[in-house]
Chain A
Amino acid sequence: MKKLVTALLLFGAFAFAEGPQAVAIRSARIVTVSGPTIAKGTVVLRDGLIEAVGENVQAPADAWVVDGPGLTDPMSTVGIPGLAPASASATIGGRGGRGATTTPASPAGAATAAAPRSMGPEDRPQTTSWVLAADEIQPSDPRIATARGAGFTTTVTFPERGIFGGQGSVIDLGSAEKAGDMVVAPAVGQYIALGRGGFGGFGGGFPSALMGYIAYVRQIYLDAGHYKLLKEAYAKDPRGMARPAYDRALEGVLASERILLPANRVVEMDRMLRFAAELKQPVILYGMKEAYRPEAAPLLKQYGSPVLVSLRWSEPARDADPEQVESMRNLENIDLGPSAPAMLKKAGVPFALYADGLDQARDLQRAVKRAIDAGLTRDDAIRALTLAPAQIYNLADRLGSIEKGKIGNLVVTKGDLFDDNTRIQMIFVDGKQYKPAAETPAGGRGPVTEPGVNQ
């Protein structure tokens, strides 16, 4: 049976060189996410969209047909592996840092000595709020294929430099010739970091302490509010009024409909939720290492903000001094961390899972499996990687489930996605079929939400 499937896949890849307009996946168990799972049905993709899905759907005559009981579990996956990367080359398919290079910046004190020292919020330190990740995507980035191989058809990728990195973009992980063809939504939120984790080389200057970062963000939002007032007054009647100076940092902030803030500890969740409320900004928190703690879910529930839970669960410190005994809190984080999704689900906190740099299929599968072993249902696990993020970013009308008219993003597996032996057979992005590349033993981008990011 397995051999048959392999043969089909090879055929499929070959056939695709010609590029048929329609694909029908027949006799498959279809996890629609938005509705009930169809035990045996057909999905038809055409022109990049889902044309039909259901038990009694007929494969169109012109469709390339994927057949056989061996193929199961098509699943559209919206993942967010590129959320909050620590290295400067983190924008998926994007250029790293300021320049067009993908060389990761070395830690603090690297060679960008030319950067002028910031003497306060007025200097807009480490701010590129006007940047859109979509403008920096490079379709040739090899990480696109890696993430796709892990089952991600879509990613939300953020420019991660500095404090105000810019706005994230939702992109489909297909092999487009033009970067613009990959973009589903160019601006979905301003990425704010509150620490030095991952961006070095700023040559000192303000801010340097966590409270300095927070004060800077606060001042920016005060300035943005004032800037808006002045601009509106000037637009209404410019005569006799000093022209407000154009400030791209504030333009970028004002253009962002939501912000993303880091929070791993419960203390940080409380701090960031209060802060976002003070700034009057809709917020998505990311990290959530301590979301398993009993006080976390009620706190998050109280504010109603959605959260992104990193799949990079806490682990024992590597190469740690064997004499050093871990703190009780760390031990609890390691032991109970993966139970966070189940607890959030139970409490009704909107959440999604994100890869946090785990872009190898096997690592991801294992990480999700740990959440399942800790009480998350398989359906909820899939939802947390598909419809839930689509809803969080307000894109559930086009992504996140297998429904007629939505974007043709599917994952086809043989067996249950989270079983150890299951391998992804094919991935459809914008209706085009891809095969997962062989897993590379080394890859990834290193840890993403640095524990020091908000401390």
Chain B
Amino acid sequence: MKKMLLLGLVVALAPLGAENIVIRNATIMTVTRGTVKGSVVVKDGKIAEVGEKVLEPQGATIIDASGQYVIPGIIDCHSHIAVDGNVNEGSISVSSMVDIKDVINPEDIAIYRALAGGVTTANILHGSANPIGGRTIVLKMRWGKDAQQMIFQGALPGIKFALGENPKRAGNPQGGRGATGTTVQARYPATRMGVEDVIREAFNQARIYKADWDAYDAKVARGEHPIPPRRDLKLEALKEVLEGKRYVHAHCYREDEILMLLRVADDYGFKIRTLQHVLEGYKVAKEIAAHGAGGSTFADWFNYKMEAVDAIPYNAAIMQKYGVVVSLNSDDAELMRHLNTEAAKAMKYGGVSESEALAMVTLNPAKQLGIDNRVGSIDVGKDADLVIYDKYPLSDYAKVQKVLIDGAVYFDRDKEVSGRPQKEAEKKKLLDKEKQLQQQQRPQTGRGGRIG
């Protein structure tokens, strides 16, 4: 009986897919086409119709959103949640052989909390300990699903680069910045010049590697049977960058290092997809726009280290004015939960419009990640990744009520709140049980195997 109940609970909690949903009477902030009052129809996980008058499919679940707001799911272009182990393979200067995809932790509670803050998609990055860091992956916050099911299928994978203080910091503790443990020998590079050298040298190697494989592929195409070259995971990722099959997301702060990286990329014939943080982007916005790189920055976080002293809260708006696709990111599990207010800051400081501000946490990061044909706005045909707020979303007072991903409800505030007493009771039961067990065991001595 107990098992049946438990099973029932699991079924009830699991988001239901393929269900048709109509969100009625809402204020719909589409991002691409302004604000619409009316309904959103969700069919087979996609947005089927948006408007004042819609055709409601028979048997659809109705969500009454009277007085409430609907926005596209928030997309965080820079996050480190849902990762098992250290986010930095900081032992070496080029760690492009490592992959976040291998260490996705779908049970990280930060995923659920991000959902509760309206985030439906996040770009999960390797840390910034190395000039060329590990491979990155885009996830949908499908809480309750396994690691593979979290992956945003069809999104191009990326790689993390990092410039400036973090990668050049000598004597990082083992495991990179932020890790505890013994400080290891200083690791090259120790200067910004060295950072550039490491990147150039890695791409010199990658070019040779690519040439070897191209020659091999040509021979195979001619019908020959040569022994293939050795696969090198480190250079394979860089070969993909050269071929445009992997996006570069580069952590940077200062104008000089930004220009350096753009020149290096031009020299080797690849593109920087996004400049991450890019706090001095406003100084070189024209050059960034000319390269075609996106800028993913903080709304107003500054002065927390030497290279962040020239940050200004107008950065996002200025870069945008010069034609850079700009997003606002969190880089932090807590900030991730209120990116809507980060967008609002761009309105306050930079004077961008409501839609433009909202785009900085929805459509623009979608563009930067190459997934804007799927997500980022409330348009017919896109994934039904939707957030329902009780109040105007670009406000501190707005609370997320429901979050849908692919048309399935993954977060429901009412259910969350009403479910708490039961969860607490279950936990108390186990805690009492544990206490009892410990009391029983207390007089025992000589637990041989435990000592060692």
Contacts and interface: CB of A to CB of B under 8 A. Distances in A.
Interface of A: 87, 108-109, 117-121, 195, 203-212, 214-216, 218-219, 222-223, 226, 229-230, 233, 265-267, 270-271, 274-275, 294, 312, 316, 325-326, 328-329, 331-332, 334-335, 355, 357-360, 362-364, 439-447, 454-455
Contacts of B433: 335
22 contacts: A108-B181, A109-B181, A121-B97, A195-B85, A204-B174, A206-B89, A208-B86, A209-B87, A209-B89, A209-B98, A210-B84, A211-B126, A216-B97, A219-B233, A275-B102, A312-B449, A331-B430, A334-B434, A359-B449, A363-B449, A441-B445, A442-B451
Contacts of A118: 91
Given A204-B185, A360-B448, A443-B448, A211 B176 contact: no
A443 B449 CA distance: 6
Interface in B404-452: 423, 426-427, 430-431, 433-434, 437-438, 445-452
Contacts of B146: 267, 270
A269 to B, nearest CB: 10
Contact of B227 (A205, A229, A355): A229
A91 B231 CA distance: 34
Contact of B103 (A203, A211, A439): A211
B233 A222 contact: yes
Interface in B106-126: 106-107, 126
A218 B99 CA distance: 11
Given A108-B174, A364-B449, A441-B445, 17 more contacts: A108-B181, A118-B91, A195-B85, A208-B176, A209-B98, A209-B103, A211-B100, A211-B134, A215-B233, A218-B97, A230-B227, A267-B106, A267-B107, A331-B434, A360-B448, A363-B449, A440-B448
Given A120-B92, A267-B147, A271-B147, A443 B86 contact: no
B182 interface: yes
B85 A209 contact: yes
Given A267-B107, A271-B102, A357-B452, A208 B174 contact: yes
Given A211-B102, A219-B233, A325-B431, A119 B449 contact: no
A455 B185 CA distance: 25
Contacts of B231: 222, 226
B39 to A, nearest CB: 36
B105 interface: yes
A21 to B, nearest CB: 36
Given A219-B97, A455-B84, A117 B185 contact: yes
Nearest first, the 6 closest Cβ-Cβ pairs linking A and B are A210-B85, A204-B184, A446-B452, A109-B182, A444-B449, A209-B86
Interface in B220-242: 227-228, 230-234
A441 B446 contact: yes
B20 interface: no
B91 A206 contact: yes
B365 interface: no
Contacts of A214: 98-99, 102-103
A454 B84 CA distance: 8
A110 to B, nearest CB: 9
A358 B92 CA distance: 39
A268 to B, nearest CB: 8
Nearest to B175: A208
Contact of B452 (A87, A212, A233, A355): A87
A331 B107 contact: no
B8 to A, nearest CB: 12
Contacts of A358: 449
Given A206-B91, A229-B227, A334-B434, A267 B84 contact: yes
Contact of B88 (A204, A209, A222, A328): A209
B87 A331 contact: no
A297 to B, nearest CB: 14
Contacts of B126: 211
Contacts of B85: 195, 209-211, 455
Contact of B451 (A332, A355, A444): A444
B315 interface: no
A171 B158 CA distance: 48
Most buried by B among A119, A195, A204, A206: A204
B90 interface: yes
Contacts of A195: 85
Contacts, number: 180
Contacts of B84: 210, 267, 454-455
Nearest to A214: B102
A114 B7 CA distance: 56
A329 B105 CA distance: 14
Most buried by A among B227, B426, B433: B227
Contacts of A442: 446, 448, 451
Given A87-B452, A204-B91, A444-B450, A332 B103 contact: no
B104 to A, nearest CB: 8
Contacts of B452: 87, 357, 443-447
A195 B126 CA distance: 18
Contacts of B54: none
Contact of A357 (B100, B181, B449): B449
A107 B102 CA distance: 26
A310 to B, nearest CB: 12
A108 B179 CA distance: 13
Contact of B448 (A229, A265, A334, A363): A363
A299 to B, nearest CB: 8
B10 interface: yes
B297 interface: no
A67 B79 CA distance: 71
Given A108-B181, A121-B97, A215 B102 contact: yes
A441 B444 CA distance: 11
B95 interface: yes
Most buried by A among B102, B107, B231: B102
Nearest to A200: B182
A380 B297 CA distance: 59
Nearest to A81: B449
B234 to A, nearest CB: 7
Contact of A328 (B6, B427, B447): B427
B186 to A, nearest CB: 11
Contacts of B95: 206, 212
B448 A441 contact: yes
Contact of B91 (A205, A267, A362): A205
Contacts of A87: 452
Given A444-B448, A446-B452, A335 B430 contact: yes
Contacts of A363: 447-450
Contacts of A444: 448-452
B81 to A, nearest CB: 14
Contacts of A218: 97, 233
Nearest to A336: B430
A219 to B, nearest CB: 5
A275 B438 CA distance: 38
Contacts of A206: 89, 91-92, 95
A331 to B, nearest CB: 4
B179 to A, nearest CB: 8
Contacts of A207: 89, 91, 98
A144 B184 CA distance: 39
Nearest to A290: B107
Contacts of B184: 117, 203-205
A331 B87 CA distance: 27
A256 B86 CA distance: 30
B102 A294 contact: no
Contacts of A119: 92
Interface in B199-230: 227-228, 230
Interface string B63-84: 0000000000000000000001
A140 to B, nearest CB: 19
Contacts of B88: 208-209
B230 A270 contact: no
Given A211-B134, A215-B97, A226-B231, A328 B182 contact: no
